[in-house]
Amino acid sequence: MVQRQGAGGSALQSGLSHSGDMMKDSVLVTGFEPFDGRSCNASWIAARSLALTPGVRVLCLPVIWGAPLDALHAICSEDCPTTIVSMGEGRPGWFDIETVAHNVRADRADNAGTVTREPIIRGGPERRSATIDTQSLKGSLAARGHPTRTSTDAGGFLCEETLYSLERLRELHPKLQRVAFCHLPPADSTCTEDGALERCTEDAVRSFAHDLVDVARQL
């Protein structure tokens, strides 16, 4: 049973779309709505570009404490995919594959203005490690030309909550075979570090998302 410690019981405000009948190997790809006053979110630009891909559904998650677990648990209970790939905005210049999530929430307001220090899941373990082969995922994406790293800091915000929730849902739903979370550079951000993505364009995140799903569903 999932016992989510919410922050006011806010309802899910997102859209789920898919490319037709579900295939045997089905994938759910999620991104987030804009936050912190921005007009767009690179993760949703990336996710929605896959909406017409056979066997793929896409979902935009609200930046609301508790929403990722509520939304993903509902989908897995009704029509569970075999793979869930989630994305959010992170640091300029790099695509970061997150390797661990902690059962804590940062002292930060969500898009509803709510701040909570309640755990993501009451009674859950302090941390959950990513079960997908993150090194293989990183290597394959880097080989395709994407500046990719692994990360041990998912940020403490909704991205951390999403990875922690995904790993719990993988335990609850046998059909869900693999989950992954990746931070993308913020939309239009720039970076001058060696090897980094100089500017995060829509084409860059769309290309990355397509390759991310292609690689993840093979691991």
pLDDT digit of tens for each residue in the chain (219 aa)? 443 344 433 333 345 555 544 446 799 999 999 999 899 999 999 999 999 999 999 999 999 999 999 999 999 999 999 999 999 999 999 999 999 999 999 999 999 999 998 999 999 999 999 999 999 999 999 999 999 999 999 999 999 999 999 999 999 999 999 999 999 999 999 999 999 999 999 999 999 999 999 999 899
In a domain, 11, yes or no: no
Q: What is the CATH number of the domain that holds 120?
A: 3.40.630.20
Residue 148 falls within a domain, yes or no? yes
Q: Tell me, what's the pLDDT at 24?
A: 65
Domain annotation covers residue 134: yes
- pLDDT at residue 25 in the model: 79
Assigned domain for 18 exists: no
* 21 assigned to some structural domain: no
In-domain check, residue 155: yes
Q: Is residue 109 part of a domain?
A: yes
Give the per-residue pLDDT at 62.
97
| pTM of the entire predicted model | 0.89
Number of domains in the chain: 1
Distance, CA of 83 to CA of 6 (rounded, Å)? 25
What is the structure's pLDDT at 18? 52
Residue 22 resides in a domain: no
Residues spanned by the domain of 56: 27-216
